[in-house]
Amino acid sequence: MCGTFVPWKPPGSVEPRSGPEWLAVIIRCTQCSREEVWGTLGACSGCGAVLRVDLPLEALEKLDRIPPGHGIDRYRSLLPASTEIFSLAEGWTPLVPASALAPQASQVLLKCEGRNPSGSFKDRVAALAVTLARENGAGGLLTASSGNSASAMATYCAAAGLPCAVLIETGNPATKIRQVLAMGARLIPVEALFDPGPDSVRDLLQTVSKKIGYYLGFAWAPVNPYLTEALKTISFELFQQLQGTPDWVVTPVGGGDLLHGMWKGWEELRLAGLIEHTPRMAGIQSESAPPLVRAFQQDLARVPPLDFANSRISGMNVPFTGDHALQAIKESEGCALQVSDESVFETQEDLARRYGIWVEPAGAAAVSGLEKLFTKGWAKSGERVVCILSGAGFKDPHLAHPEAETILSGQVTPRDPAAILRRLQSAG
């Protein structure tokens, strides 16, 4: 099922872009190269594969003239929006050196996406989604999410004065749900929302969004291929921050948009003539929910859904990954690796205690995969690696330090220096 939109100019907005550069932007199938009508949502009408946005080379040539800074509107000429992109100063997140995590590497750097306004990389997507909702003249925005996307969409909709409805499955971290509710979004639990598979989810969301007149802000390329474009901005920033290209970029993978979007950014940098070689992409999944890893190991052309997803890592506990992620790994000559949930939780604690960075488990997964990246021979000694920390630790704290409640409700130390010293010197 596909839908189309007609760009709309909201009151008080800047004038839309015009001219041959904008008109030359194409929505094209990643498999059969079929061109679709601009604004088409869903999959290719010919072969059912994921769609992508193709820019003219004239637009890419402006990449080296874009100044660093917050807000992805500075990349507007490279994004599928015709008006100023709504911003809460997202992007330009810190790049922290952490070479001790992999002594074999020449350098390990951590891109801290938890420093975005709502606490995750999805804020980049939400900025674009709100902009496109306005351009569509939509009455609001509809999304479905395990957490980060819901928080981001709710945050940006609240700031933009746009109603937001979020469909969720039960069992999500309460902190993420509280964040959505705090922003005034309508939260609707739906039984087995993602269980039937990606096609069924897409059809459900398109039906509901059309009925209520809301823009479909579901942040997954097989449903909305335009929103993934916002994730290119991470690669653009890395290029500016590093003044060059890393050898590897390691990302956690659930649906696959982060990996795909970043790879597309590097490809555009190459097409613009700003880099000679692109990094290799590594996608990390939980061994309890590894659809991409299995497809990669079996050298498949597409990613079949699994009949299980048992990971305790929110955001990665999904039984299906988009084919676009597999394609990005193959094109970049990268790899897909799986790690245990336990190793991810250990890495989460290690990052906090060694580097002062509290990340959500999904963010720690990228770092957890570092050792395998080298021991399995994918990365070579002396290569430079960037790990994407997808979100902040407050996003999913229910698995971290469960003893907090016990400490707060346990023995209270008297307000006396000697008693405090005895407590500090004791094991407890």
> What is residue 173's predicted lDDT score, i.e. its pLDDT?
64
Query: Longest C-alpha distance within the chain, in Å?
Result: 77
Write the CATH number for 369. 3.40.50.1100
CA–CA separation, 115 and 136 (whole Å): 29
Given this model, what pLDDT does residue 10 score? 32
| DSSP assignment of 204-225 | HHHHHHHHHTEEE----TTT-T
Q: Which pairs count as long-range contacts for 112-116, CB under 8 Å and 24+ apart, including other chains? A: 112/357, 112/359, 112/389, 113/234, 113/363, 113/388, 113/389, 113/390, 113/391, 114/357, 114/358, 114/359, 114/360, 114/363, 114/389, 114/390, 114/391, 114/392, 114/393, 114/395, 115/392, 116/90, 116/91, 116/152
- Give backbone dihedrals phi and psi of 169, rounded to 5 degrees, phi first: -90, 160
Average of per-residue pLDDT across 169-191: 84
Strand locations in 277-426, DSSP E? Answer: 280-286, 335-339, 384-389
Rounded distance between C-alpha atoms, residue 364 and residue 350, angstroms: 9
Distances (CA, A) of 2 to 43, 202, 205, 225: 7, 9, 11, 12
With H, G, I as helix, E, B as strand and everything else as coil, classify residue 359: strand
The whole-number pLDDT of residue 404 equals: 61
Query: Is 286 part of any domain?
Result: yes
Of 83-87, 102-106, 147-151, 226-230, least confident by mean pLDDT is 147-151
Q: How confident is the model at residue 9 (pLDDT cuts 50, 70, 90)?
A: very low
Token reading at 406: 């016990």
The reported pLDDT for the residue numbered 427 is: 59
Q: Token digits for 65?
A: 């003239």
Considering the domain boundaries, does residue 319 fall inside one?
yes
Tokens encoding 120: 């995750």
Report if residue 178 sits inside a domain: no
- Average pLDDT score over residue span 344-361: 95
The pLDDT score that the predictor gives to residue 97 is 97
The strand pairing partners of 412, in sequence order, are: none
On whether residue 197 sits in a domain, the answer given is: no
| Per-residue model confidence (pLDDT) at position 7 | 33
The pairing of strands 186-189 and 164-168 is parallel
* 270 located within any domain: yes
DSSP-assigned beta bridge partners for residue 216: 142
Listing from the earlier edge strand, what are the strands of the sheet with 164-168?
186-189, 164-168, 140-144, 214-216
Residue 70 carries which DSSP code?
S
Give the pLDDT confidence score for residue 19 in this predicted structure: 39
Say what the pLDDT of residue 398 is: 55
Asked if the structure places residue 69 within a domain, the reply is no
Phi-psi region of 208 (alpha: psi -120 to 50; beta: other; left: phi over 0): alpha
**pLDDT (tens digit per residue) in 109-122:** 999 999 999 999 99
Report the domain count for the chain: 1
**pLDDT tens, position by position, 293-323:** 999 999 999 999 998 899 999 889 889 999 9
Q: How confident is the model at residue 151 (pLDDT cuts 50, 70, 90)?
A: very high
Q: Which amino acid is at 82?
A: S
pTM for the model: 0.90
106, part of any domain: yes
Indicate the DSSP class of residue 9: -
Q: Whole-angstrom Cα distance, residue 259 to residue 220?
A: 12
Angle between helices 148-160 and 122-135 (to 10 degrees): 50
Give 79's pLDDT tier (boundaries 50, 70, 90).
very high
CA distance 403 to 409: 10
What are the structure tokens assigned to 80, written together? 């599928």
The region of weakest confidence among 55-64, 288-297, 326-335, 387-396 is 55-64
Query: Would you say residue 373 has pLDDT above 80?
Result: yes
Q: Which domain holds residue 286?
A: 95-116+227-399
Radius of gyration of the chain (CA): 22
pLDDT tens digits for range 238-275: 999 999 999 999 999 999 999 999 999 999 999 999 99
State what percent of residues in the chain have pLDDT above 90: 68
What distance in Å separates the CA atoms of residue 365 and residue 293, rounded to the nearest whole number? 14
Rounded Cα distance between 119 and 40, Å, is: 30
The Cβ-side half-sphere exposure at 23, using a 13 Å CA radius, reads: 3
Q: Give which of 79, 369, 72 is closest to 234, Cα–Cα.
A: 72
The pLDDT score that the predictor gives to residue 219 is 86
Specify the residue for token string 């021991």: 375
Q: Who has greater pLDDT, 282 or 412?
A: 282
Q: Is 27 a domain residue?
A: no
Provide the residue type at 18 as one letter: S
What is the secondary structure of 345-368 as a DSSP string? HHHHHHHHHHHS--B-HHHHHHHH
Contact 329, 276 (CB under 8 A): no
What pLDDT does 107 receive?
96
Mean pLDDT, residues 350-378 taken together: 95
The amino acid that residue 315 corresponds to is G
